[in-house]
Amino acid sequence: MSPQVAPIGVLGGTFNPIHHGHLRSALELVERLELEHLRLIPCARPPHREAPDCSARQRAAMVELAVAGEPRLRCDRRELERAGLSYTVDTLASLRGELGGERPLCLVLGFDAVATLDSWHRWQALLDYAHLVIIARPGWALPQHGAVAEWLGRHRVTEPAELRQRPAGAVLTLALRPLAIASTDIRALLAEGRSPRFLLPEPVLDYIETHQLYRGTGNGA
Ligand code: ATP
């Protein structure tokens, strides 16, 4: 394989709604890891939480509005086109099928996601398809003991350059600028009739207002 093919980043989430915490991390990842681009992949049917109170299509539309004008960030709708629960391992397999076996792929996970990784479908197979890039999230820590901690330790690398040298299989922890923004808080503000302005892009807020999203009971899920 060519060791110098630029990696592609993958950031999955419910994006309910997308906010500046996601976007700032995504852009910093592109620059720090010298990614060709990073794909934000809205989850259609999350396996681990209740169905979000706005549709997958609406969440994807907001991701598209948020990344418009930044070609290094893209919205990838593949989970919307698949039936059943949206398992990340299936998404990575589908990306591999499309991109071929040589291109490095970097799956980005926040500390919060890593804390429950061993409940994910075929979680240990994630590294067959991609590297794992773990980013800090205010209020969360990485597991120190147990199966996930051991597995992370076995595959850990320390330099971003190592992610360019093979297509998958390494774990890198990266400190980015921490922005303490969560979609849960944005939904709560909207449900209380308060403004989440400046926590998320203006076009996303316009979309929320036009479609009257998150006005009801503020489903905290
Ligand atoms: P919710 O509050 O509904 O749980 P969220 O804000 O955590 O939503 P998700 O769509 O669940 O957003 O997050 C997708 C991914 O982005 C996860 O890997 C998560 O760790 C990461 N992420 C979310 N918010 C931030 C943030 N402020 N900074 C860095 N990463 C974030």
Residue 48 has a pLDDT of: 64
Residue 67 located in a structural domain? yes
Residue 48 located in a structural domain? yes
pLDDT in tens, 15-33: 999 999 999 999 999 999 9
Question: Cα separation of 123 and 113, whole Å?
Answer: 12
Residue 34 located in a structural domain? yes
Distance from Cα 104 to the centre of ligand 1, integer Å: 23
Residue 1 has a pLDDT of: 47
14, 22, 198, best to mutate for ligand 1 pocket (most atoms within 8 Å of CB):
22
Q: Is the pLDDT of residue 100 over 80?
A: yes
Q: Which carries the bigger pLDDT value, residue 216 or residue 165?
A: 165
Measured from the CA of 221, which atom of ligand 1 is nearest? 3
List the CATH number of the domain containing 102: 3.40.50.620
- The residues near 159 (Cβ < 8 Å, ≥ 6 apart) are 172
Residue nearest to atom 15 of ligand 1 (CA): 13
* Counted domains in the chain: 1
Distance from Cα 214 to the centre of ligand 1, integer Å: 17
Would you call the peptide bond into 17 cis, given omega within 30 degrees of 0 as the criterion? yes
The boundaries of the domain holding residue 76 are: 8-211
The model's pTM: 0.91
Residue 218 located in a structural domain? no
Residue 1 located in a structural domain? no
Question: Cα separation of 185 and 171, whole Å?
Answer: 30
Residue 129 located in a structural domain? yes
**127-164 residues labelled b (16+ CB within 10 A) or e (exposed):** bebbbbbbbbbeeeeebeeeebeebbeeeebeebeebb
170 contacts 157 by C-beta, under 8 angstroms: yes
Q: Is the pLDDT of residue 114 over 80?
A: yes
Residue 221 has a pLDDT of: 35
Q: Mean of the pLDDT values across residues 85-114?
A: 94
Residue 217 located in a structural domain? no
